[in-house]
Structure 1
Amino acid sequence: MNEQMKLLKLSFPLFFESLLFTVIGSVDTLMLSNYSDTAVGAVGVANQILFLVLIAGNVIAQGAGILMTQYVGAKRKSEDLETLTITALIVNTVLGLFFSALLVLFSPELLSIMDLNGEMLRFSSEYFIIISRYLFLHLMTMTFSVYLRSHGETKTTLKVSVLMNIVNVVLNYILIYGHAGFDALGVQGAAYATVISRLVGFVVLGSIVYRMGFYQKTIRFTPASMMNVLPRILKLGAPAAGEQISYNLAKFVMMIFITRLGDVAITAYSYSNTLAGFVYIFSVSLGQGTAIMIGWYTGSGHKEKAKILGTHSAKLSFSISMILCTLLVVFRVPFLRILTDNPEILTLAGHVLLFNFIVEAGRSQNLIYVNALRAVGDVNYPFRVSLFSMWGIGVFFSYIFTVSLSFGLPGIWIALGLDEIVRALLFRKRWLMDPPQTPFTTMEKQV
């Protein structure tokens, strides 16, 4: 099969999975907006904190995923994949329970940082506590998803995502507004719908992984084998997750700037983010598909194929993103009217989306090159660049534009765009200058 066709075959299920999550996320936003515009803003603030914690728990899944794709490409023994999978599952379960307990215990302190008050604080607290209690389900499910994707089973994860999102939409309708004999729970209903859909995903994905890799097999996993592979997972996973943690922590700080602009700005940010999500979902899925194939090439020693594929994906990602961004900007007002009829929010969000070209020009490249660099084990460079750019450019200019120059919410978008473009240029230079390596084989020799 042609390499580019193979990439698309892997990426399109991931694209539809991402599209589905974005559509359902928009449906969630629409359902909540019919309940209350304030509820939309409150959930957006809560999710900013929750996403940060989820990515902190992504250390194990990131490292295990890189090694799994390389092992599959190198046709390693099934016991090696068993050890990776079981190790990741055990550690993520422990981490998930720890994070769940920590978030519930310190929820008042965490939300107080965001400077919320009144109904916005109440809604945010209700949603945050319910999701936090069951956060461990998401981390455990991530392990199963990584296992399947490393084997190219992207259609399987898509099917499970369809099921999860159908469950989520149906339960949102029932629990937010109060149907089928249930009370109208509002924001709490949206939270419970999310938790139950995640539970469904955990059970279904877990059973598929068990049948695919462990059914009727002798499991040779031992604590010693776990301690042998865990340092390798952490060596790759910690910088990879650290880059994402830095990104979301920087956005968390930016969110603090936004909350000080008032409730209209908070809600306009949530709606703008919802619509912008439709633009970069192709780049997200293409980046994930590219990472799988580059991992396979790296494991089998085909370095030049990996390099060519990464460059091709970056060009394709930029072209598609610019087309989608143009459509969003042209039709932004009709799209926003689906979500809200508040004239202040419509005006502000419509103005903000005009600056989305700046953001997507860089983001469309970053989502490819970061995944490509991670897939070959080059995880430290993206982490260092991200620390410099996200904080030295993104957060710094967010403060300058919103506080010193009073640009308001558009200033946040401009700062995000500058950060994305700088990182894109540096990552592209790294990918073109340094040929892909096979770090996992070097690491094996060290252990």
Structure 2
Amino acid sequence: MVQSGLSRRMEGQLAAMRTSELELHQQFRREITRLVIPSVLQMVIGNSFSLINTVMVGRLGDTAIAVVAAAGQIGFILSMILSAVYGITAYMTQFHGKQDQESMKEAFGLMLLSSVIITLMLLIIVLLFRSSILYLFINDSNAVLHGVQYLSVLMFVYLINSVKDVYGQALGSIGRNRLTLVVGLMAMSLNAVLDYALIYGKLGFARYGIQGAAWSTLAASVFSTLLLLGYVYVKQYYFHITPREMLRGFSFSFAKKLFATTLPLILHEGLWSVGIILYAVAFGYMGVSALATFQLARTLGGYYMMVIFGFAYAAKVMIGQKLAQEDPREALIYAKKFTRLSVAASIVVSVFIVALSPLMLKLFSYTSPEVQTALHHVMLIQAAVMVMYFLNNVWIVGMFRAGGDNVYTMKLIGVTTWLIALPLVFSTSYLFHWSIEVVYFMFAMEEIAKACIGYFRYRSNR
């Protein structure tokens, strides 16, 4: 009878464990659906700004695409540095999970101030050295002149977005991204109409060419910022913090605590973004066609990556909330679920890339045959290494950063970018003068190496 009673207790415990696992699995599915779909839609909108501009400008030829690519490097390095600042949202997610509203406001104020200050510092440098920066990528004085005009307008876009994006990131950190999704959709529509009107001189407007793309982006940014902040403050939606509240709540001890983990992340993103710019320098050395191919591949790659970033964002929020609990074991369960799901999703995305590549190439039918051929081959390379892109982003952004493991990610970038991929890219382009496709595969070696090394960190459960 004692043995029978013990068996019943064990069966009851096993049943309770199965019920708990089932509830956790159902919770995982609900949360990932709630977070991934809006996040992916939001990134579709964000990437569409770049795609619309590139497609519109692409009708002006390879040189125009190369000019946009060269000028866009400034925005890229800024976005990467600011994405590191937005790492503060990992704390905001945890504060939200603990219902600590005061710390939420303080973290938001710190993130907003940091974003604006960093943007202003970079824009001062760009203002002083615009031409010299563009000559790194394009050795054509006429093209650089167009690039300076284009970049002069974009500088205002970067400053406006340094405020708007903080609100979007903050809302996203607590899973409230429907507002930014709607505002982004409206801004994208405005940007498309103005691109058509200002680049080609339609709808009663003068023809501005490449500079018209910059003006349309500026108009869309102003519109979306006014709409987003207007709703937040008029409706007193989340994060309607006043400047006085922000400054009054600023605490240097609190800032020191947050920056202890985000500063390595800033260095991480800074190192990686400088590396990406050097990749663009290498492709620019190979000629306008190579730089145009690199830009088009990155633009299309943004659409493949949006699914990846959606998973990474969901992982950051969901794992971050689990880590805020007393027992973090469920965070490890979520990490394994995200890894398996990432592998399956990467296979689906790879199949889509191969199947849809002919259709995507038609978007850039006005480019040269050399660019068309190289871009097709590069897209196949992207499909082949897609699983690496998925795993790297989910592990680094969704897991390592959610747990504050930013020092390791900085070291990982230092090794894979600066010691592996960059030497391979520059040797194959400058020394051996190999084809665009081979050089691009050397560029993709960064992701391959990152996944191989990062796997051991993921398995360690640190």
Residues 394, 208 of structure 1: alpha-carbon distance in 2 compared, 3 angstrom cutoff: farther
Q: Do residues 347 (structure 1) and 370 (structure 2) align?
A: no
Q: Which has the larger radius of gyration?
A: 2
Give SS of 1:35's match.
coil
The change in CA–CA distance for 1:373 and 1:10 in structure 2 (over 3 A counts) is: same
1:331 positional shift? 3.6
> Of the candidates 377, 390, 395, which is equivalent to residue 369 of structure 1?
395
- CA–CA distance in 1 between the matches of 2:257 and 2:300? 38
Whichever residue aligns with residue 409 of structure 1, its letter is I
The residue type paired with residue 70 of structure 1 is: Q
Report whether the alignment pairs 1:171 with 2:179: no
1:284 corresponds to: 309
Paired residue secondary structure (2:324): helix
Amino acid across the alignment from 1:286: F
> Which residue does the alignment assign to 1:388?
415
Question: 383, 387, 393: which is aligned to 1:357?
Answer: 383
Q: What is the distance in 2 between the residues matched to 1:176 and 1:85?
A: 38
Q: How far off its partner does 1:9 sit?
A: 1.3
Cα shift readout 1:314-340 (whole Å, capped 9, x = no counterpart): 222232223222332344233212212
Matched residue SS, 1:225:
coil
1:127 and 2:154 aligned: no
Once the 2 structures are TM-superposed, how far is the Cα of residue 149 of structure 1 from its aligned partner? 0.9
In the TM superposition, residue 219 of structure 1 has moved relative to its aligned partner by: 7.0
Q: Tell me by how many angstroms 1:268 deviates.
A: 1.8
Deviations 1:350-370 (A, max 9, x none): 222222234323111111011
* Preserved CA contact (<8 Å) 1:359 1:416: no
TM-superposed deviation, 1:298: 1.4
Q: Which residue of 2 aligns with 1:69?
A: 93
TM-score, normalised relative to structure 1: 0.90
- In the other structure, the counterpart of 1:332 is 357
The letter of the residue matching 2:96 is V
Other-structure match for 1:404: 431
Alpha carbons of 1:174 and 1:61: their partners in 2 closer, same or farther (altered >3 Å)? same
Paired residues of 1:356 and 1:413 also in contact (CA < 8 A) = no
CA drift of 1:73 comes to: 1.5
d(CA) in 2 for partners of 1:301, 1:123? 57
Q: CA RMSD in A?
A: 2.3
| Residues 1:17 and 2:42 are matched in the alignment | yes
Q: Is the 8 A contact 2:97 2:321 kept in 1?
A: yes
Letter in 2 for 1:376: G
- Please give the alpha-carbon distance, in whole angstroms, between the structure 1 residues aligned to 2:250 and 2:296: 47
Q: Write the distance in 2 (CA, Å) between the matches of 1:278 and 1:96.
A: 26
Residues in 2 aligned to 1:414 and 1:390: alpha-carbon distance in whole angstroms: 13
TM-score, structure 2 normalization: 0.87
Give per-residue Cα distances to partners, 1:54-77, cap 9 Å, x unaligned. 322444322x2121011111221x
Residue in structure 2 matched with residue 8 of structure 1 by the alignment: 33
Deviation digits for residues 219-272 of structure 1 (CA, Å, limit 9, x no counterpart): 755557332322223222222232222222111111111111111111122222
- Correspondence list, 1:48-447, <5 A: 48-62=73-87, 64-76=88-100, 78-210=101-233, 211-213=236-238, 221-223=246-248, 225-341=250-366, 342-371=368-397, 372-435=399-462
1:194 maps to amino acid: T
- Worse overlay, 251-260 or 266-275: 266-275
Counterpart CA distance in 2 for 1:321 and 1:247 is 23
Task: Give, in whole Å, the separation in 2 of the partners of 1:297 and 1:15.
Answer: 22
Alignment partners' CA distance in 1, 2:402 and 2:28: 17
Tell me, yes or no, if the aligned pair for 2:47 and 2:299 is still in contact at 8 Å. Answer: yes
Take 2:433 and 2:121, find their aligned partners in 1: how far apart are those partners?
Answer: 40
- 5+ residue gaps, structure 1, are 436-447
Write the distance in 1 (CA, Å) between the matches of 2:239 and 2:315. Answer: 27
Partner of 2:19: none
Give the % identical residues.
19
Distance 1:409 1:424 in 2: 24
Give distance in 2, aligned partners of 1:278 and 1:134: 22
Residue deviations 1:174-211, cap 9 Å, x none? 21112333211111111111122222232233234441
Change in Cα spacing, 1:206 to 1:301, as seen in structure 2 (3 Å) is farther
Residue range with higher mean Cα deviation, 358-367 or 282-291: 358-367
d(CA) in 2 for partners of 1:105, 1:133: 15
